[in-house]
Amino acid sequence: MKKRTTEVSRQTSDQDRGDQWPETVYRYVEHYKWEPRQLCKGRPASEFLAKIRRQEPPLNFLLNMLCVTLPESWMQAALGSFSVSPKASMPTDLVQRFPIELNECQPDVRLESETHRVFLECKIEAYSDTVQMLKYLLLSAYLDDTDRQKHPWILYLSPGPLSMHWNPVSERKALQTGGTDALRTLLETADLSVLGSGKRARALTDSVEALRTRAVVGHTTWKQFGDALSRCAAIGTPSDLEYPVCRMTNDFLTELERRGLWASNM
């Protein structure tokens, strides 16, 4: 079981600390600071617990924590469940980083290597649209400008066909018949003016235009994603080093099953 390796210094700045898993925990707890209506104040704790077990943010958090632990081969298997356009080899040596927010756009999962930047958008019931794809490219352009240039990937994870989670209705038929190729066409032909006239959007428009000609887009279902993880975890009796990731993966699959997003084929 080959594990991805990263150099991590114990002396880190506050900004760098955001990419370490303890800080990810704190940031997700912070979500409820800004969304106090989600706390069910004045109601029993059992009501709050039932509510968060249906919401997307806690599931996104669990997936981020799982991505921290996945070995390289397991990460490749999970990402291999995505159908992508244009056809491309999956990036290697990806590391989970905190999903930075920019202009009300924040990926549910952010994975990066030295050469690639992968944003995962996880759906349960909510809808997505072309504007969100463009905002992801704007975020990637911003990170290119402030960090280093990388190849952008935008991947969607949903219970069923992406068309069921897409607006407007007029674009759904194209996704139903054209799949990820149609998704890429939507991105390539979208009007960049929807990004607004703010200073950052204006400064990065040319970069967004260039990125969308190189961007890879993709989609898979929770079922396909879960099946890929399940095959990885079915390794018999794990060794001491393998046990933690097997436990994390199986517990995550149990959560997907509880939510009705995945079911074992066994």
In angstroms and rounded to an integer, the radius of gyration of the C-alpha atoms of the chain is: 19
pLDDT for 251 equals 97
Name the residue with higher pLDDT: 62 or 39.
62
**Judging by DSSP bridges, how do beta strands 216-221 and 151-158 pair with one another?**
parallel
pTM: 0.90
pLDDT for 8 equals 39
Number of domains in the chain: 1
Mean pLDDT of all residues in 166-185 = 95
Neighbour-count burial of 95, counting CB atoms closer than 10 A to its CB (0-12 exposed, 13-18 middle, 19+ buried)? middle
Is the residue at 121 inside a domain? Answer: yes
CA-CA distance, 217 to 153, in Å (whole number)?
6
**CB contact at 8 A, 139 and 107:** yes
Is the residue at 7 inside a domain? Answer: no
pLDDT for 42 equals 85
Is the residue at 108 inside a domain? Answer: yes
Q: Which structural domain, as residue segments, surrounds residue 247?
A: 14-258
Q: Which band of pLDDT confidence, cut at 50, 70 and 90, is reported for residue 201?
A: confident
Name the residue with higher pLDDT: 219 or 35.
219
Is the residue at 112 inside a domain? Answer: yes
Is the residue at 123 inside a domain? Answer: yes
CA-CA distance, 4 to 69, in Å (whole number)?
9
